[in-house]
Chain A
Amino acid sequence: MKKSYLNNPGTLKIDLMLRGIRLPREDGPLAFYGRAGEGVDIVLPGGSPVNVPCGEEFTRDSPYVLKKAGERWLISDTTGEVEVRPVKMPEFLSRTTGEGTPYSEIATVHGSYVLILPKKECVFFEKKVECSYCAGGYDERPGRTHTVDEVVEVVSAVLEEGVSEIIYLSTGFTEDDDGGIGFLTPYIEAIKKRFNCLVAVEALPPKNNHWIDRTYALGADALLYNLEIFDEELFEALCPGRARFVGRKRYIEALRYAADIFPNGTVASHLIVGLEPPGSTCMGIDFLTDMGVVPILPIYRPRPGGALRIEPLNAEVIIPIYRHLYRAVKKKGINMNWMRDISVVTTPIEGRLIAGEKTGGISGLIEKFYGTRLGLKTAWGLSTLRRKLRVKEIEED
């Protein structure tokens, strides 16, 4: 009998991301939201959000179908069905800023957080050293830099609508020594000054650690330096820009340093599953967790028309990697409540579902609490207090 993942939201999330879903035609266009207009966002049983591909060629062969039964929505495969909740397009995304920019050009919703790109630019394309798997659409000519006021306007709308309490700022990728933090500084400051929300920052590792101190002092609550590939040779081959302008050694140094500065569980790094052998990804997981860094594992899917043709792994191979992820993070005592509920990746906390473990008692309650709005507000308060206690301003010599 064919194996079904329907009964485990953790494995179902992975399989859905890999194989996509077929949508009901008869209902006309769906008002569901998908990341940057791609796919649909669905909340699985237990609350895990997932962004599921639905428009690509490969999704036609998906065993999964989204269908409506009365007021309920179901995902079914050949073996059964499970109730889910498709995510409605947030209202704020249909608005435009005072300067006429659609909000959707600045922000995208990724489950528990909203990604904001003040400027969409990757210098690696200009230098012809882009990552060969890049699917971010950064190859187009650099977009306009959105002003601080525009970004603040969007964040205000996000928070007002209650879409998210976490704003994830990405620098785009520049070759500045600061890894892009200098560019993001006015945005972080403006957001932190006006709103009580958490801010996560994705950047390139800066040349000097004092920029990491600075990033924390500015108000970043979480930080991501995405190594993407752990294997040294593959890293150099597939990420020539990162290898040349930053270097694997510096990624590791910066992550180690950041994990010492930021709160437990708030420093993360992506390792893309499927670009290197699973054993290598597992070594990467162990290495990162040893340093106190949370590995986040997006799944590789070939870009239509892209030059890189690596066959994506299937769920059978991938699922043990996530089980390993959960166990490694748990063993090292890394807090899983920060990096969670992201629609485009499976996070360590969801790895628990895959590992078949249940949390009960106090830790289960804490986990539930941090998934709520009040929990996120509490996280913001504690994070702010911690920063207040730790950051000291010193006179520059």
Chain B
Amino acid sequence: MAVEIDRRSIWVLLVLKGLRPAFFVLLAAGFYYLIKMPTPEGLTPEGKNAIAVFILCLILWVSNIIPLAITSLFAIALVPLVDILPKEEVYGLFGNEAVFFILGAFILAGAVMHSGLSNRIALVIMDRFGSSPARLLLSIYLLAALLSCFMSEHAVAAMLFPIVFEIAKSLGLRPGRSTYAKMLFLSLAWGCVIGGIATFLGGARVPLALGILKETTGRTIDFISYSVGVFPVVVIMLLFGYFLLTRLFSMDIDSVEKAHEVLKRRIQSMGKIGYNEYMVGIILVVTVVAWATLGARVGLATVSLAAVVALFVLRLVRWKDIEEYVNWGIILMYGGAIIMGTALERSGAAMWIAQSTIGGWMVEPWLAVAVLSLLALLFTEGISNAAVIAILLPVGIGLTGGVNIDPVLVTYAIAVPAGLAFTLPLSTPANAIAVSSTYLTIRDMAKAGVIMSITSWVVFNLVARFYWPLIGLGGLR
């Protein structure tokens, strides 16, 4: 562990230190007040308590003053404590299919990375297809998108980053100056972000949305339907992203010969493809096929867990190797968010909030999709995309009681844009990783990201309005 010395005035530090306890005291007082206040009309006492817990979690999730997962655990403890749901039900909800699906997906992605398969695929594709600056750029972009369809986009960004960084170095690109380097790192980040919304596997936030949808309405979306629904958004955004990159920045190099030397060296150092890589690859393919074909019948989580068992039966990974790839915090966060969402729904609080805030004027379904997707896009720039879903989705689903709109559409309208964070490094780890290269400045990212965000909102709404009815998805008047 390294240390850093904060050199601000000691008085500033003291005040800042004092702010934290003061914040918690205020929060506790506010929570107590909400619990004790008379129940507003149209709301049950459980609903009022659920709103109090929701506001508390909302503040903690948005401020990130304690880890997201800990806020979720807090929610789990509070829901039975203030009599919103019985404790047996609360802890039962944690065993949601979405939680186990994510757990399985994390382990599978961990095995793919640990075996070196993902790295090999990345290197070989870049080496094979990246013969010119434009083609190398495109191969990084599409590769990031493709890999993010199968594993967490954060993991993909982290995996590709050292390769892209080495390529930039080998080409002698100057940090902060070279426009080609900016393109490379933006293509890495955008590829991950756009690819990450294509399937359930990218950001693992869609399973969270599904978990909330299932627990609150009993409805669900299957693996294939989801991908078919977002496919046009992914394709249009990928095309537009590439177009924008090449318009905003120029390619200030003529040859990528040096980059190939790096790629070749790396490929050589990996040696021949081994048994583990083959087997993990086969399990990955079989699992994806099973998710698509059997997912609806046997459950996505069942397929994930079967794949995990296969990995261990065939001794392709050890538990120790996998532990570091599994984001246990996210799993806890998801469990808690699902419980919170269910508590809001069952107590009638979600509907009450939706009706008394946006429900009154959001009478048209297309308007609801437009507003919810805009809110999700804006929120996701500042807070974790899982938190966006935990906050917006229960309220969005509550809205469906008053507006003639399918809760499935609301789930899309929030879960998809929640993944489309292009503007800031803090929006998503893929952006942060790209900016950390120092080849790309925050300003570069923000400038291009704003255009991408606006475009993605327009594209998403056009797809919702004109394409979804064609595939029988809801239907917006």
- The chain A residues found within 8 Å of chain B, CB to CB, are 210, 213-214, 216-217, 260-261, 386, 389-396
Contact = CB atoms under 8 A, between A and B. Distances in A.
Interface in B1-34: 1-7, 10, 13-14, 17
30 contacts: A210-B2, A213-B3, A213-B4, A214-B3, A216-B5, A217-B3, A217-B5, A260-B7, A261-B7, A386-B10, A389-B6, A389-B10, A390-B5, A390-B7, A390-B10, A390-B13, A391-B3, A391-B4, A391-B5, A391-B6, A392-B4, A392-B6, A393-B2, A393-B3, A393-B4, A394-B1, A394-B2, A394-B3, A395-B1, A396-B2
Nearest to B17: A389
A217 B10 CA distance: 16
A267 B198 CA distance: 58
B104 to A, nearest CB: 27
A260 B6 CA distance: 10
Contacts of A386: 10
A156 B2 CA distance: 30
Nearest to B7: A260
Q: Which 4 A-B pairs have the closest CB atoms?
A: A217-B3, A389-B13, A392-B4, A396-B2
Interface residues of B, number: 11
A261 B5 contact: yes
A396 B4 CA distance: 11
Contacts of A392: 3-6
Contacts of B14: 389
Nearest to A396: B2
A210 B10 CA distance: 21
A214 B6 CA distance: 13
Contacts of A395: 1-2
B351 to A, nearest CB: 43
A216 B6 CA distance: 12
B359 to A, nearest CB: 44
B401 to A, nearest CB: 45
A386 B6 CA distance: 10
Contacts of B6: 389-392
Interface of B: 1-7, 10, 13-14, 17
A383 to B, nearest CB: 11
A210 B4 CA distance: 8
Nearest to B436: A397
A210 B2 CA distance: 8
Secondary structure class of chain A's binding surface, majority of residues: helix
A392 B6 CA distance: 7
Nearest to B11: A389
Contacts of B3: 210, 213-214, 217, 391-394
Contacts of B13: 389-390
A213 B5 contact: yes
Contacts, number: 43
Contacts of A260: 7
A74 to B, nearest CB: 46
Contacts of A213: 3-5
Contacts of A217: 3, 5
A214 B2 CA distance: 8
Contacts of B5: 213, 216-217, 261, 390-392
Nearest to B13: A389
Most chain B beta carbons < 10 A, residue from A210, A390, A391: A390
Contacts of A261: 5, 7
A214 B1 CA distance: 10
A215 B2 CA distance: 12
A395 B13 CA distance: 21
Nearest to B8: A390
A391 B17 CA distance: 13
B429 to A, nearest CB: 13
A263 B2 CA distance: 21
A357 B99 CA distance: 74
Most chain A beta carbons < 10 A, residue from B2, B7, B10: B2
B432 to A, nearest CB: 12
A217 B1 CA distance: 11
B109 to A, nearest CB: 22
Nearest to B3: A217
A212 to B, nearest CB: 9
Contact of A396 (B1, B7, B10, B17): B1
A127 B4 CA distance: 35
A395 B4 CA distance: 10
Contacts of B1: 393-396
B464 to A, nearest CB: 40
Contacts of B10: 386, 389-390
Contacts of B4: 213, 391-394
Nearest to A261: B5
Contacts of A393: 1-4
Contacts of B17: 389
A126 B14 CA distance: 48
A214 B7 CA distance: 14
A389 B10 CA distance: 8
A189 to B, nearest CB: 13
Nearest to A210: B2
A394 B5 CA distance: 10
A396 B7 CA distance: 20
Contacts of A394: 1-4
A348 B241 CA distance: 66
Contacts of B2: 210, 393-396
A393 B6 CA distance: 10
A389 B11 CA distance: 10
Given A260-B7, A389-B13, A393-B3, 8 more contacts: A213-B5, A214-B3, A261-B5, A389-B10, A391-B6, A392-B3, A393-B4, A395-B1
A384 to B, nearest CB: 13
A210 B1 CA distance: 12
Nearest to A260: B7
Nearest to B6: A390
A213 B5 CA distance: 6
A386 B5 CA distance: 11
A252 to B, nearest CB: 19
A260 B4 CA distance: 13
A261 B5 CA distance: 7
A184 B6 CA distance: 24
A261 B6 CA distance: 8
A390 B10 CA distance: 8
B54 to A, nearest CB: 32
A391 B5 CA distance: 5
B11 to A, nearest CB: 10
A7 B44 CA distance: 87
A368 B17 CA distance: 31
B399 to A, nearest CB: 40
Contacts of A396: 1-2
B172 to A, nearest CB: 24
A386 B2 CA distance: 18
Nearest to A387: B5
B434 to A, nearest CB: 15
Contacts of A210: 2-3
A210 B3 CA distance: 8
A14 B2 CA distance: 44
A394 B6 CA distance: 12
Most chain A beta carbons < 10 A, residue from B4, B5, B14: B5
Nearest to B12: A389
B327 to A, nearest CB: 15
A392 B7 CA distance: 11
A98 to B, nearest CB: 33
Nearest to A388: B17
Contacts of A391: 3-6
B18 to A, nearest CB: 11
Contacts of B7: 260-261, 390
A391 B2 CA distance: 10
Contacts of A389: 6, 10, 13-14, 17
A216 B2 CA distance: 12
